[in-house]
């Protein structure tokens, strides 16, 4: 069964360093997302991406964040200068949109745990 | 703004018993979707069940069913005949038709053998 894959599973970085989290969405999906979950808190929406551009983003997704689909298969989240509060589990997700309506199902990866020291 | 509240951080249930997980939400929208996602330990979140707000009939998927009370903005998940594999974090989520899902803080369910 196809699934969303994420790498790395865990990354430790120093504050101020750049981090790139990678995701390979399910191949026939059209919408891609990044969510994050700070330990003990709710899963929060960061950004959605469709047709090679951002379609929605939250207030969390500031200028330090960027997303890219560089080669038609990978979907990356870059954090330019990490802060302590960026420590979280980052989930990539993808979905397929029907013509009639959104199916409503997000397919999630297992997450990338980012620890900023 | 849309908010989703899960007031039970942790729950446990005996194997083969029934358990109900609570979820309330707040929205001014009339058309939206509600979901329960399950996240087993060290695994990705997977969809358990989905409810369209315009449908009055409660969704069911095998042992999983919901009690959707639109006026009360309540969306609880009932798991019947609980199995050890049901042990997971359960997230209630809301989507209003765009691309943004709003999640609750989750309920950690443990099924006791």
Closest approach of B13 to chain A, Cα-based (Å): 22
Asked: is B3-112 a CATH 2.60.40.10 domain? The reply is yes
**For residues B52 and B41, what is the distance between their CA atoms, to the nearest angstrom?**
28
**For residues B13 and B86, what is the distance between their CA atoms, to the nearest angstrom?**
10
Instruction: Please tell me if residue A70 touches chain B, with a CB cutoff of 8 Å.
Output: no
pLDDT tens digits, B78-109:
999 999 999 999 999 998 766 678 899 999 99
Q: Does the pLDDT at position B65 exceed 60? A: yes
* CB-CB under 8 Å, B103 with A43: yes
pLDDT, residue A41, reads 83
* CB-CB under 8 Å, A42 with B4: yes
* Torsion sign (Cα): A33, A39, A43, A45: negative
Residue of A nearest to B52 (CA): A104
Confidence of residue A20 (pLDDT cuts 50, 70, 90): very high
**For residues B94 and B102, what is the distance between their CA atoms, to the nearest angstrom?**
5
Instruction: Please tell me if residue A58 touches chain B, with a CB cutoff of 8 Å.
Output: yes
Q: Which residues fall within 8 angstroms of residue A18, CB to CB, at 6 or more apart?
A: A78, A79, A80, A81, A82
Closest approach of A68 to chain B, Cα-based (Å): 17
* CB-CB under 8 Å, B105 with A102: no
Query: Higher confidence at residue B98 or residue B21?
Result: B21
| Candidate from A93-102, B30-39, B51-60, B101-110 with smallest mean pLDDT | A93-102
Reference A21, options A54, A57, A65; nearest CA is: A65
* CB-CB under 8 Å, B102 with A106: no
Asked: is A17-97 a CATH 2.60.40.10 domain? The reply is yes
pLDDT, residue A89, reads 94
Distances (CA, A) of A44 to A101, B80, B105: 23, 29, 10
| Candidate from A101-115, B1-15, B17-31, B78-92 with smallest mean pLDDT | A101-115
* CB nearest B100 (choices: A50, A56, A111): A56
**For residues B53 and B58, what is the distance between their CA atoms, to the nearest angstrom?**
10
* CB-CB under 8 Å, A106 with B101: yes
* CB-CB under 8 Å, A56 with B105: no
Q: Where are the domains of chain A?
A: 17-97
Q: Cβ–Cβ contacts within 10 Å for residue B51, how many?
A: 20
Instruction: Please tell me if residue A112 touches chain B, with a CB cutoff of 8 Å.
Output: no
Q: Where are the domains of chain B?
A: 3-112
pLDDT tens digits, A41-86:
888 999 999 888 998 899 999 999 999 998 878 999 999 999 999 9
Reported in sequence order, the residue ranges of B1-113 that DSSP labels E, i.e. its strands, are 3-5, 10-14, 19-21, 24-26, 33-39, 46-52, 60-61, 64-69, 74-79, 88-95, 101-103, 107-112
């Amino acid at each position: 069964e196809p699934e969303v894959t994420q790498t790395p599973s865990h990354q430790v970085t120093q504050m101020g360093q750049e981090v790139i989290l990678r995701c390979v969405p399910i191949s026939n999906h059209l919408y891609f997302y990044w969510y994050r979950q700070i330990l003990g808190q709710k899963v929060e929406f960061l950004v959605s991406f469709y047709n090679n551009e951002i379609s929605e983003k939250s207030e969390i997704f500031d200028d330090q964040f960027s997303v890219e689909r560089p080669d038609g298969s990978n979907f990356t989240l870059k954090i330019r200068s990490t802060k302590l509060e960026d420590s979280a589990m980052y989930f990539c997700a993808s979905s397929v949109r029907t013509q009639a309506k959104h199916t409503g199902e997000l397919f999630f990866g297992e997450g990338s745990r980012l620890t900023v020291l | 703004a849309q908010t989703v509240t899960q007031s039970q951080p942790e729950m446990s249930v005996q194997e083969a018993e029934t358990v109900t997980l609570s979820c309330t939400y707040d929205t001014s929208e009339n058309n939206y979707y509600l979901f329960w996602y399950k996240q087993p330990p060290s695994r990705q979140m997977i969809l358990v069940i989905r409810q369209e707000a315009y449908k009055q009939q409660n969704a069911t998927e095998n042992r999983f069913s919901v009690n959707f009370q639109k006026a009360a903005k309540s969306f609880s998940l009932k798991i019947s005949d609980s199995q050890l594999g049901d042990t997971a974090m359960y997230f209630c989520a809301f989507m209003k038709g765009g691309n943004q899902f709003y999640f609750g803080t989750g309920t950690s369910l443990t099924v006791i053998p």
